[in-house]
Amino acid sequence: MGVSRGGFSSRMGFILAAAGSAVGLGNIWGFPTQTASNGGAAFVLVYLVLAFCLAYPAFMAELLIGRYGQANAVSSMQKMSRTLWQKRFAFIVGFGGIICAALILSFYGIIAGWMMSYAIEPVMRLANMDNAGKWLIEQSLSRNLLFTSLFMLLTIFIIRRGVEQGIEKWSKRLMPMLIGLLILLIIYVFTLEGSREGFKAYLNPDISRVFEPDLLISALGQAFFSLSLGTSVMVIYGSYISKKENLVSLGAQVTLIDVSIAFLAGLLIIPAMYVAQAQGVAIFADDGSLISGPNLVFDVLPTLFNGMGLVGLFVAFGFFVLMSIAALTSSISMLEGPVSFVVERHNVKREKATVLIGCFILLLSAIIILNFELLFGLVISASTVYGQPLIAMLCCVFVGWIWQRSEVLAEIKEGNNEVENSLFWKIWPWYTKFVCPSAIGLVFWHSL
């Protein structure tokens, strides 16, 4: 690993940073929300299968590209290309992923800003500053601009410090905090009346719904978003892993952590909704489905917290801090994609590149905030519904069809000499070549 471009100092550093990227609002908000609107446990079941059978192989493809190339997404893919058209294709895929990461960050920063303002609101109430508290939880231009900027500043602050001192150090601090907070909140919710019913709704699958096309599409999209695929992020994180590490097991561990935390988040949110119901809050929409989307996190849960009296202020604070931390460990990975590209391809200093790109993305967020109705949903679907699956599919095509099989094997063998005789090597190359691109393509086509 080139000393000048930095890298993760340890195995644990990589696992926590990659899990930090993967675990975010997608797990703690997106997954439970999707579960609530897609038939509860049936969605959980399909999600688990797709995460391991489709997202994990695609995740491995991205990690391998990065570790082989030891560079940003574009340079890594161009290193694998032999002909001019392959190099051009590499540029489109690598750069497409970088754009996708920047677009995701532009809306993610806005939502993360809401999480931060909701975290401060209980503190204001505790200090008897009710008007300030009210401002924090009401939609307004000033609040959105202020908190999105604050969140972006935090992201820039961490990324400016580089891989080891920034990403790795902060992921090691924030990830254990996140897991600890999540477990404490789950335990607390379980002591409340109504949680048992939520627990049942979450864990009893209605098998008849498992093959519904919309459910399958939502579950696959959720799995790809959750593992940060199709954004160049896992390529660049892969490039910071030492050649001594066994990528197959590292990738599996990160997938397992990501899936487990999504599962745990469901264990918090769905029972919390039923607790809210026991306290008189409406948790079903008019059509009989569970409330999901922003209403769930910003209406149902705060109403539940408010009903708990003084303790509720602390629980609300804990919950929204949890959300903000999860968002931060993901946002730093999104900024790292474009920053590493500019630093390595255009010889710009990391500090300067981070501030410039961070401010540019903040400007995009401000444009979205100022044209919220028009742009917010559009940017989300352009980047997550279309961009991510498309780029992830092209990465699989790249590894399966363009990269020479002998070179793929040589790269996987680094740190894992026995891999040639393993089940992974018997299945994965074929899988990445045929199954992943076709399955992702099918879902992509259906979503069009």
Q: Please report, as residue ranges, which positions from 52 to 111 form the binding site for ligand PFF (by CB under 6 A).
A: 101, 104
CB 324 within 8 A of CB 181: no
Q: Is residue 21 part of the contact set for ligand PFF (CB under 6 A)?
A: yes
- Cβ neighbours for 140, distance < 8 A, ≥ 6 positions apart: none
CB 170 within 8 A of CB 158: yes
Closer CB to ligand PFF, 188 or 319, in the complex: 319
Binding residues with ligand PFF: total (CB under 6 A): 16
| Other CB atoms within 10 Å distance of the CB of residue 234 | 32
Binding mask 332-361 for ligand PFF (x = CB under 6 A): -xx---------------------------
Closer CB to ligand PFF, 26 or 133, in the complex: 26
CB of 330 to ligand PFF, least distance (A): 4
Q: Which residue from 330, 354, 365, 416 is in contact with ligand PFF, where contact means CB under 6 A?
A: 330
Identify the burial level of 28 via C-beta atoms within 10 angstroms of its C-beta, where 0-12 means exposed, 13-18 middle and 19 or more buried: buried
Q: Which residue from 7, 24, 32, 198 is in contact with ligand PFF, where contact means CB under 6 A?
A: 24
Stretch touching ligand PFF by CB under 6 A, among 20-28, 200-208, 239-247, 420-428: 20-28
CB of 117 to ligand PFF, least distance (A): 19
Binding mask 201-240 for ligand PFF (x = CB under 6 A): ------------------------xx-x--x-x-------
- Please provide residue 403's backbone torsions phi and psi, each rounded to the nearest 5 degrees: -70, 135
Q: Which two tokens stand for residue 260?
A: 């487990």
The closest of 259, 253, 275, 330 to 44, measured between CA atoms, is 259
Q: Which residue from 16, 18, 19, 25 is in contact with ligand PFF, where contact means CB under 6 A?
A: 25
Closer CB to ligand PFF, 13 or 26, in the complex: 26
Q: How many CA atoms lie within 13 A of 319 on its CB side?
A: 28
284 beta partners: 290
| Other CB atoms within 10 Å distance of the CB of residue 142 | 8
CB 273 within 8 A of CB 198: yes
- The binding site for ligand PFF (CB under 6 A) comprises 21-22, 24-27, 101, 104, 225-226, 228, 231, 233, 330, 333-334
